[in-house]
Amino acid sequence: MTTERPSVLQPEMPPTRWGDPAHAAGLPDGVRDLVGLVFPIQDAPALTDVAVPAPRLADDQVSGLRAIVGDDHVVTDDAVRRQRTRGKSTPDLLRQRSGDLGDAPDVVVRPASHDEVVAVLAYAQEQRIAVVPFGGGTAVTGGLVADPAGLTGVLSLDLGRMRGLLALDPVSSTATLEPGLRGPEAEALLAEHGMMLGHFPQSFEYASIGGFAATRSSGQSSAGYGRFDAMVVGLRVATPVGEVRLGSAPANACGPDLRELFLGSEGAFGVITEVTVRVRPLPEAKEYEGWRWSSFADGADAMRALAQSDLLPTVIRLSDENETAINLADPSGIGGEDRADKEGPGCLMIVGYEGAPAAVAAKRAAVTEALTALGGTALGAEPGEAWASGRFHAPYLRDSLLDVGVLVETLETATFWSNRDSLYQRVKAALTEALGDGTMVLCHISHVYPTGCSLYFTVAAPGGDDPLARWLPAKAAACEAIVASGAAITHHHAVGTDHRPYLTAEIGEVGAEVLRAVKRAVDPAGILNPGVLIP
């Protein structure tokens, strides 16, 4: 097939905020008053008119890049360099908001094809320029911050022109996508053929296909459709020493699966230029509903029971008591006022079913029977529909809270079921102790396996005069609690620069040396995302 490209492109995000400015809404007065009851409110406007450090690359280096991708696609303009500075974690946003542009790339280069990526990498290797692949720019663990020590500068390799559907094999149910396609663009292209991918992280509207693969992302429908890495059947990767093509068959016994080496490699081993994924028919039926559990532990046990009996729906997520209360603002709404009075607010579980109508009905009947037997109370469609319609809005709320001086950030981990409660308590305690009075820690489970689950924490605390200085030690304390608990330092946000100091504890010194050895083999000059991932 000829390459198909999306007709509608996502708008650019502003450097200091999330998403489409047209969708941003400040805190409504009522909510601002409510927030003011818990946190000191202080207007904390972002600095927007800040000078970007002068580019370090020489004119002839910029000319060399122009000769490869064309004059229009090599940009040294301050506004664009600012837009390509770091990602969208709260520390990234706080640094941008305070005018710290110390990590700005020197140049933004926009290749249009795999061959142009190969040529840019060869040139960057020759010129010793650091290359930071840039997909959607939604990284939250410092994956877009390269350390240029010993190199001549930093090049942001913006993959936004590589936005095509290259091939569709309806017989095998596979599609080959270019890396720069954002989530909605990829789904729109597949929908024209009656197909879908089914990867819906909260960052769906902006994150890219290449980014999903490079970070081993996991979406909100992971229970039904799997993590992104489980959807990938093939990859094409450009490295400074040549190309790697992987995925000649759905499965093989050709030694270790090298796809796994490049999935999650965060731009440190190469640039992913094509991703072949398995696709599925668009679901005819979608049903979302709520369930109430009297405690987080009861709800988690129910999730485990479903996962261990092969009964998972498409979406399953459970909020702890704090998150349930905050999300609903009125906890008595869960299961009726009487019940809330007698038993506390309880915990909200969202359950969603997608697929052919008969399959949805059968799965729903079986899951309903199991959840009822386990002690859950069905709350009907309303909480499920409310979640489905607001599922991508939370990042806008973070900006509004940062605007009034409230520090808000998230972090995540994963562990086996037997360690779930201990991990939950230790991370909560670490965050609360580090941030002090007035800290709120919320948690949910939204990715489950027969053997364990991820825990996703949201933290809100007074920002004070320097919210970044308050957050960094708290994040370190949470990471140390995770390591001490024997849990994963990340389940789906990736390692980046933020989790890199903890990676050796996770994979051991020999594991770290294996990563370094691969890096030496595919990137001998060390130009690919230096400082990211590799311990």
Ligand X SMILES: Cc1cc2nc3c(=O)[nH]c(=O)nc-3n(C[C@H](O)[C@H](O)[C@H](O)COP(=O)(O)OP(=O)(O)OC[C@H]3O[C@@H](n4cnc5c(N)ncnc54)[C@H](O)[C@@H]3O)c2cc1C
Q: Which residues bind ligand X (CB under 6 A)?
A: 18, 87-88, 132-140, 143-144, 159, 179, 201-203, 207-208, 210-212, 214-215, 217-218, 266-267, 271-272, 395, 492-494, 529, 532
Q: What is the dihedral of CA 258, 263, 268, 269, to 10 degrees?
A: 20
Q: Which is nearer to ligand X, 139 or 440 (CB)?
A: 139
Nearer to ligand X, 323 or 432 (CB): 323
d(CA 137, CA 158) in angstroms, rounded, equals 9
Are the CB atoms for 226 and 217 separated by under 8 Å?
no
Q: Are strands 377-380 and 285-293 parallel, antiparallel or unpaired?
A: antiparallel
- Residue 255 φ/ψ region, left for φ over 0, alpha for ψ in the -120 to 50 degree band, beta for the rest: left
Query: What are 17's two structure tokens?
Result: 């905020």
> Could you tell me if residue 186 is left (phi over 0), alpha (psi between -120 and 50 degrees) or otherwise beta?
alpha
> Least separation, in Å, of the C-beta of 73 and ligand X?
16
Q: What is the DSSP string of 91-107?
A: HHHHHHHTT--TT--SE
Cα dihedral value 123, 125, 127, 128, nearest 10: 150
DSSP state of 174: E
Q: To the nearest whole angstrom, how small is the minimum distance from the Cβ of residue 375 to ligand X?
A: 29
CB of 139 to ligand X, least distance (A): 3
Which residue type occupies 282? Answer: L
199 vs 420, beta carbon nearer ligand X: 199
Yes or no: say if 199 and 261 are a contact pair by the CB < 8 Å rule: no
Helix (H, G, I), strand (E, B) or coil at 277: strand
Nearer to ligand X, 183 or 345 (CB): 183
| Of 527 and 532, CB closest to ligand X | 532
Minimum CB separation of residue 151 from ligand X in Å reads: 16
Q: Which is nearer to ligand X, 9 or 285 (CB)?
A: 9
User: In this structure, which amino acid lies at residue 266?
Assistant: E
**Residue 446: CB minimum distance to ligand X, A:** 8
CB nearer to ligand X: give 294 or 490.
Answer: 490
> Which CB, 166 or 379, lies closer to ligand X?
166
**Nearest residue (beta carbon) to ligand X:** 211
Determine how β-strand 347-355 pairs with β-strand 285-293.
antiparallel
Look up tokens 């806008």; give the residue: 396
In the complex, minimum distance from the CB of residue 194 to ligand X, in angstroms, rounded to a whole number: 26
Residue 12 is classified by DSSP as P
Q: How far is the CB of 254 from ligand X (least distance, A)?
A: 23
Shortest distance, position 350 Cβ to ligand X, whole Å = 14
